[in-house]
Amino acid sequence: MNNKKFLRQCVSCRLIKPKEQLIRITKNYKTKTIQINYNSQIQGRSVYICKNKECLENALKKKKIEHYLKSELTENIKEELYTVLKI
């Protein structure tokens, strides 16, 4: 059996899903800024979130991403998340 997937937990709904179904958001350990980590090139503390509107809105409302990354989310990154999710 060689089909083991990398599973990660959504910070919002807590469901565990294959990595490719989630968006990775990382606090860059050098610049301390929060970035969407499209290709896992950015190193730092990360959270994962489902690619759907409900999870994003719930996470933003409850400040879950801020809580885990211990940083404020800028309006820019919020807009980028909505754009990526095509909401």
CA–CA separation, 42 vs 67, rounded Å? 19
CA–CA separation, 44 vs 37, rounded Å? 10
Binding of residue 10 to Zn ion (CB under 5 A)? yes
Binding of residue 50 to Zn ion (CB under 5 A)? yes
Proportion of the chain in helix, strand, coil states, percent, rounded to 5: 30, 30, 40
Q: Mark the segment that binds Zn ion (CB under 5 A) among 9-17, 33-41, 68-76, 77-85.
A: 9-17
Residue 66 C-beta: closest distance to Zn ion, Å: 16
Q: Judged by CB, which is closer to Zn ion: 5, or 32?
A: 5
